[in-house]
Amino acid sequence: MRDVLVIGGGIVGTAIAERLARDGLSVTLAERGAIGREASWAAAGLLTPVHPWNYPESMLQLDAESLALWPALAARVRSEVGIDLEMRATGLVMPIETDEEAAEAQRRVAWKRDHGESAELLDAAAAREAEPALRDDALGALLLPDLAQVRNHRAAPGLAAAAARLGAQIQEDTAVLCLLHQGGRVCGARTTGGDVRARHTILAAGAWSGALLGEAPPAAAVTTPARGQILLLRTRPGALRHMVLGGDGAYLVPRADGRVLAGSSVEYVGFDRSVTVAGTSKVAAAVERLTPPLAAATLEATWAGLRPDTPDGLPVMGEVEPGLIAATGHFRSGIMLAPVTAEIVRDLVRGESTRDLAPFDPLRDVV
Ligand SMILES: Cc1cc2nc3c(=O)[nH]c(=O)nc-3n(C[C@H](O)[C@H](O)[C@H](O)COP(=O)(O)OP(=O)(O)OC[C@H]3O[C@@H](n4cnc5c(N)ncnc54)[C@H](O)[C@@H]3O)c2cc1C
């Protein structure tokens, strides 16, 4: 009997495995494919909600707590398994394209400062000086200098390797087929590699989580795939200095090696990871509009990933039934929220939870 079985080897499952193994628990993680090859690989790695002002306070508290945990997590992965997650505060600029956006930017500066974060309004000349790739006719820009990013595709493999060093069993190519029950509790799962019995089972299977909850799953915990398409551009290092976010939610994220990720669509097309002409054209048009010089960059790759969305757009974290804890439904914020999710699950497993998890309760009412 293991202490914990984690289902799913994305960033959420591997962060949980690492956290619990660090506490000395015996952990098995079952991943049906390779570690971290789904949404956690496909993401852009922004460590901020795209539009924080649209989020409820309960989410903003989680964000703040998770951001504070990220530097230590990145440092651990680097020191323990030699993988650099490239956590960098490149800052983010939002070009102001219309008078309405200028008024909105003023409100966002006030919002950021009320939340104790730095924010500056730049006039047109200062915006171009800060970010020369911005379009010439931008009226100005909102600069959020502290915002950070990570090289997300390295995170789940790094966390899995760190967990393995601490004694966790990481089982790739091992699909969970169904949950096992005994005495009114979930006591593990049947996998393609055999039964794994555990005192606590953690459901962290991303967009596929809902399917493992049986025929009558709690409504809030039913995850839906939300496809996002990304373009990877090859430019020279420094061609883009900051992350850039457009008013329509399109964004660019510069990596240290000169690559730039541009994203992303949000499409409800089932479990279909196809890259489409329509999806990529929309992102390409946003690149050309926001940062015209980057339209000349080489298009190195395109891909799509499936975000785990929920009926109310909030994550699902808490006990579903005795022995089963859900840690899923992180939609557009799973990279950012992985560290705090691991802490929440650890506290639930140890029976030490003091946070108000009602907004994320798998059994909450959703309309
Ligand atoms: C284009 C795009 C951009 C994004 N950008 C950002 C961003 O900038 N910042 C941010 O914070 N978030 C971002 N996200 C969201 C983020 O990627 C997700 O919220 C996060 O990766 C979810 O992590 P996860 O571990 O829950 O899911 P996944 O990474 O999808 O992992 C779930 C794992 O479970 C496995 N699994 C499924 N079923 C089974 C089974 N039956 N048995 C065993 N294993 C199973 C899967 O194979 C998979 O590896 C983005 C997502 C996309 C698609």
Q: Domain residue spans in the chain?
A: 2-83+152-222+311-360, 92-147+225-309
The Cα 324–Cα 60 span in angstroms is 26
CATH of domain 92-147+225-309: 3.30.9.10
Question: Measured in angstroms, how far is the CA atom of residue 285 from the centroid of ligand 1?
Answer: 26
C-alpha–C-alpha distance, residues 323 and 5, integer Å: 10
Q: 315 CB under 6 A from ligand 1?
A: no
Same fold flag, 2-83+152-222+311-360 and 92-147+225-309: no
Q: Which pTM was predicted?
A: 0.96
Q: Does ligand 1 come within 6 angstroms of the Cβ of 49?
A: no
User: Considering the domain 2-83+152-222+311-360, what is its CATH architecture?
Assistant: 3-Layer(bba) Sandwich (3.50)
Locate the ligand 1 atom nearest the alpha carbon of residue 337 and give its number: 11
Q: How far is the CA of 266 from the centre of ligand 1 (A)?
A: 14
Position 104 scores a pLDDT of: 85
User: What is the reported pLDDT for 117?
Assistant: 83
Indicate which atom in ligand 1 lies nearest the CA of residue 13.
25
Residue 264: CB within 6 Å of ligand 1? yes
Task: Determine whether the shortest distance from the Cβ of 38 to ligand 1 is under 6 A.
Answer: yes
Render pLDDT for 198-221 as a digit per residue (tens, 0 to 9): 999 999 999 999 999 988 899 999
Query: Could you tell me which residues are beta bridge partners of residue 190?
Result: 178, 195
Question: Apex CA 174: angle with CA 329 and CA 317, to 5°?
Answer: 20
Nearest C-alpha neighbor of 49 from the set 263, 308, 331, 345: 331
Note down pLDDT in tens along the chain; length 367 residues.
Answer: 999 999 999 999 999 999 999 999 999 999 999 999 999 999 999 998 777 777 888 888 899 899 999 999 999 999 999 999 999 999 999 999 888 888 888 888 888 888 888 899 999 999 999 999 999 899 999 999 999 999 999 999 999 999 999 999 999 999 999 999 999 999 999 999 999 999 999 999 999 999 999 888 999 999 999 999 999 999 999 999 999 999 888 999 999 999 999 999 999 999 999 999 999 999 999 999 999 999 999 999 999 999 999 999 999 999 999 999 999 999 999 999 999 999 999 999 999 988 899 999 999 999 7
How many CA atoms, within 13 angstroms, populate the side-chain half-sphere of residue 272?
Answer: 9
